[in-house]
Amino acid sequence: MNQENIPILSVSALTSLIKDTLNENFPYINIVGEVSNFRPSSTGHWYFSLKDENASISVVMFKTNTWKVERLLKEGDKIKVLGTLDLYPPRGTYSIKCDSLSFVGTGDILANLEERKRQYEKAGWFDLELKKPIKKYPKKIGVITSPTAAALQDVLQVLQRRAPSLDVVIIPCVVQGSNAALSISKAIDIANIFDLCDQLIVTRGGGSIEDLLPFSEEIVLKSILNSSIPIITGVGHEIDFALCDFVSDLRAPTPSAAAELASSGYYEIANTRKELTTSIKNSFDSKFDYLKEKIYRYDINNLKSILLTKIENNYYRSVNTSNEIELAQNNKVNNYYNRFNLAKLEIESLSPKSILNKGYAIIKNNDNKIIKSKKSLNKEDIINITFKDGDIEAKVGI
């Protein structure tokens, strides 16, 4: 081949030629596949992949068309897409601009997973009796994941924050691709054979349904079932699931959540210690303030002030008491004086003299005895008559 006859193109020129070729040869396409990695944006546009067993292509459906779709897409939906091919020059990638879509049925991948799930459940692989208790205070935690995955950093950060003294061993494996299932299974087996830890976390970050398929392979499920070490799985995000979640001893919705569950015992201890520390500090501060107050009370200047205040208070109390006693004495004297006058009046009202003032007189015989009846008198008897203004003697004439 004569290289001199081959024209030299810029990247932009080549990209433009490819775009024109695509548009000329594929003016409109109708394609069937399964939805993967569906990502609706905040602006209303939809981004997802359409794939089959051997290939995948990106699809974008703009807000002006999404309203026509009866519901949101989900992983594994089998759909038919009508649209045009488009090439994005800055990245040199091509995709389908979707004008409309229709649902064909449940995707083969998702349907296959559901069928396998029913089989394993019927076989008893998900039974609660097979679940091993999760250790509350593990001595060493093993993390099975890709050493370059963001999920590993999430797990390590959570463990460092919640249980910094906990030993962690990383058991690397492949988490995506055709060799991933075997790699994950071997990592679990190695952890058990060499007794690398007493608690395992099997994890990876989010992805499409096919990205998570290795965690649903039978070889992985068997290794989890045969593991003598309790296993927590944290695969994908909350909406994702893999069959390993049903076989493991405990399922966490995310890698970070798996680390939180694995370190829950130490976190509780840390919180309890923090609460006790706060309680002790508050108690000490209270005691310290109490002692400061006691010391202040016995300070020489403060004692002088307290003593003067007490003397002054006692002086006022003594003055008030003296006044009260004097007032009480006067009240008692007046009370007795009034009672005496009343008694005097009562006595005087009963005195014979008070009767004389009313015009009566007292008649006595020579023996100075009061004559109460005329029968006790004889003619020529000498009697003494007492009036209010004096006495006179008289002789009985009749």
The residue among 25, 69, 20, 77 whose CA lies nearest residue 45 is 69
- Residue 23: CB atoms within 10 Å: 13
Looking at residue 28, its amino acid is Y
- Residue 134: CB atoms within 10 Å: 16
| 79, 57 Cβ separation under 8 angstroms | no
The pLDDT tens digits of the residues spanning 258-291 come to 999 999 998 888 788 887 888 888 888 888 888 7
Of these ranges, 42-51, 98-107, 187-196, 333-342, the one predicted with the greatest mean pLDDT is 187-196
Residue 246 has pLDDT above 60, yes or no: yes
| 261, 159 Cβ separation under 8 angstroms | no
pLDDT given for residue 338 in this prediction: 86
**What does the domain layout of the chain look like in residue ranges?**
3-106, 112-125+139-262, 353-395
Q: Rounded mean pLDDT of 36-45? A: 91
Q: Rounded mean pLDDT of 90-94? A: 87
- Tokens of residue 20, six digits: 């024109």
The terminus-to-terminus CA distance of the chain in angstroms comes to: 199
Answer with the residue of higher pLDDT: 8 or 127.
127
pLDDT given for residue 3 in this prediction: 67
- Tokens of residue 135, six digits: 């250790």
pLDDT given for residue 201 in this prediction: 97
| 259, 201 Cβ separation under 8 angstroms | yes
Sequence-distant (6+) residues with CB within 8 A of 249 are 131, 132, 133, 134, 230, 231, 232
pTM of the full structure: 0.55
- Tokens of residue 248, six digits: 């493991």
The pLDDT tens digits of the residues spanning 124-181 come to 999 999 999 999 999 999 999 999 999 999 999 999 999 998 999 999 999 998 899 9
pLDDT given for residue 106 in this prediction: 58
Q: Rounded mean pLDDT of 29-35? A: 90
Residue 379's alpha-carbon distances to 15, 361, 391, 394, in angstroms, are 178, 20, 21, 11
Sequence-distant (6+) residues with CB within 8 A of 296 are 302
Sequence-distant (6+) residues with CB within 8 A of 159 are 141, 166, 168, 259, 262, 263
Name the average pLDDT for the chain. 87
The residue among 112, 89, 143 whose CA lies nearest residue 34 is 112
Angle at 39 between CA 236 and CA 81, to 5 degrees: 120
Element (H, E) at 334: helix 300-350
Instruction: Round to whole Å and give the CA distance between 245 and 236.
Output: 11
CATH of 112-125+139-262, one of 3.40.920.10, 3.40.30.10, 3.40.50.261, 3.40.50.300: 3.40.50.261
Looking at the chain, the whole-number percentage of residues with pLDDT higher than 90 is 42
Could you say which architecture CATH assigns to the domain 3-106? Beta Barrel (2.40)
